[in-house]
Structure 1
Amino acid sequence: MTIEFSGRGDPARSLALLWRTSERASRKGRPELSVERIVRAAIEVADAEGLQALSMRRVAERLGVGTMSLYTYVPGKPELFDVMLDEVYGETARPDDVPGGWRGGLEQIARENWALYLRHPWLLQVAANRPVLGPNVTAKYEYELGAVDGIGLSDLEMDSVITLITGFVHGAARGAVEAAQAESLTGLTDEQWWAAHAPFLARIADTTRYPVASRVGQAAGQELQGAYSPEHAFEFGLERILDGIEALVAKRRTTSA
């Protein structure tokens, strides 16, 4: 699997492009092109074909222009990639009033991030330990912190809570995307796969040797209609994480009382 790293571009050029502080293009630039059109085309390539297909040439082909014409607007692929990330992170909804207090706010944030990964699976191939310092990423972080601001947590704990939520969603979404890809690549649904393997599993299953695994596996399989349900894993995990954060908030309030 291709792994891309954010923040590999020239810092000055990337930040100028992210915040649109540099001139858009010289007079030699093609009038039908713009940074926005190039970025949108690059996102479409990544959505349809994955990061392994992303290149300046492939973006130019999608736009029906020569590759060199892109460089009038975008310095190179690393800088373009940073703007792509910032662009899609701007898609998450940020309503002012979310019911349920801080817990409802974190749940809304988790669901928005979950939906974002499913729309753009290539985001799961991005190592973003060096964050893109663009306007949308910054606004997203500001909004997410707002869900836990003023509930008794320290600034470090606030940051850690957002990292915990977004990290969990990243892992859960990876499971969902991989499950969808498995069905697409094999042509078999989970139900069809298990049906094909069931006769062989029945021959080797040893309920005496593996009593707990047999009992739990059968119960889970019947309930989830398969060995694994990405949606169930997301819902169950999110609730447990929110329960843990609620315990931390209660502890902080007791300590400060």
Structure 2
Amino acid sequence: MIFLIGWQYEAEGGPAMNDEKVPAELDRLWRLSAESRLGRPAKLDVDRVVRAAIELADRDGLSGATLPKIAEALGVTKMSLYRHTGSKDELLDLMADLAVGPAPLSSAVAGEWRTGLTDWSLAQAEVFRRHTWLARLPISGPPKGPNQISWLDAALRVLRDTGLGWLAKLAVVGLLGGYVRSASQQANDMAEGRRGTGLDQDQAEREYGRALAKLVDVERFPEAAKLFGAEIFETPVAEPEPSDRDFRFGLDLILDGVATAIDRRNPD
């Protein structure tokens, strides 16, 4: 369940809370506290720290974005980072929200929920492709950063006229987001496994099929033996890449299920 915080926007356009003080981690995540304009500009700010962390993670993986390495990259002490990140867990939240960026606009028009959700899923898959470490981040709770909320809002807009209730809409968004994350991590793992072999995915699948065809016994594994005997692994595959093809197939299966749920909610 997503818990919404009651923000009130003041006349100047700045967000503020009615009575309660915003928790420090949300203050940093939403960039609510403006830097002091007095004196010399601060050497560090949240964005500079988080961007440095993302650059390290993109280059060396998530293990490369440690606080000591971030401090070294920025030429500061490790302790000076805590004012801007709070903790390592909070840093991960900040990295995730900045890395995903704001949700792009969909090409779908009103009522074309399937096109809209397809655009949404493909755009999110592209984010995971650019930042492979994102799929390995621990999930600490529902979306709470402004960019993550923009992705939630974009999906809810697409589902606005489907007749689904809020819980069903959130379930659809969670299912699609989980699928994109899982498929992206699997594609990353497969690519990592092929690294150093000189094989692309088609070639790796061909080698896999040939090897298993020799090992899988028809009496012990009758259906698997038929699979490896069908030579589907030998068939050259044109564009798109196998991982993209598999992703679209799985996505279509999920959207078929969403269509069924919508039809049940809105019978002719």
**TM interval, short-chain normalised:** 0.7 to 0.9
Q: 2:232 aligns with which of 213, 217, 220?
A: 220
- Unpaired runs of 5+ residues, structure 1, are 1-10
2:58 aligns with: 47
Partner in structure 1 of residue 261 of structure 2: 248
Gaps of 5+ in 2: 1-21
Match of 2:5 in 1: none
Specify whether residues 114 and 196 from structure 1 end up closer, same or farther in structure 2 by C-alpha distance, changes over 3 A only. closer
Show the counterpart of 2:19. none
Alignment of 1:71-220 (within 5 A): 71-95=82-106, 97-99=107-109, 101-184=112-195, 186=197, 188-190=199-201, 201=212, 203-207=214-218, 209-217=220-228, 218-220=230-232
Deviation at 1:115, TM superposition (A): 0.9
Letter in 1 for 2:134: L
Instruction: Write the distance in 2 (CA, Å) between the matches of 1:163 and 1:241.
Output: 12
Match of 1:56 among 41, 45, 67: 67
**After superposition, what is the alpha-carbon deviation per residue over 1:40-60, rounded to whole angstroms, capped at 9, x for unaligned?**
011111111122222211111
* Residues 184-219 of structure 1, C-alpha deviations (whole Å, 9 max, x = no match): 255554566567677765543434554432332334
| Bigger proportion of residues as helix | 1
Of the structure 1 ranges 99-108 and 187-196, higher mean CA displacement relative to structure 2 is found in: 187-196
What is the CA–CA distance in structure 2 between the aligned matches of 1:251 and 1:209, rounded to whole Å? Answer: 42
Look up the SS of the partner of 2:23 in the other structure.
Answer: helix
- What percent of counterpart residues are identical? 32
Alpha-carbon distance, 1:77 to partner: 2.2
- Structure with higher RCO (Cα < 8 A, 6+ apart): 1
Contact 1:60 1:66 in 2 (8 A): yes
TM-score calculated relative to the size of structure 2: 0.77
Question: Using the alignment, how far apart are the partners of 2:39 and 2:87 within structure 1?
Answer: 18
TM-score (norm 1): 0.80
Partner Cα separation in structure 1 for residue 145 and residue 101 of structure 2: 10
Deviations 1:62-114 (A, max 9, x none): 2233323333433332222221111122244133x425800000101110111
Residues 144 and 196 of structure 1: is their aligned pair in 2 closer, same or farther, counting only changes over 3 Å? closer
1:170–1:208 distance in 2 versus 1, CA, 3 Å: same
Per the alignment, do residues 28 and 131 of structure 1 end up closer, same or farther by CA in structure 2, a change over 3 Å counting? farther
- 2:251 aligned residue (220, 227, 238): 238
Aligned length: 242
Please report how far the alpha carbon of residue 30 of structure 1 lies from its aligned counterpart in structure 2 after TM superposition. 6.9
Q: Is the 8 A contact 1:13 1:79 kept in 2?
A: no
Deviation for aligned residue 1:251: 1.4
> Which residue number in structure 1 is paired with residue 18 of structure 2?
none
Secondary structure of the structure 2 residue equivalent to 1:73: helix
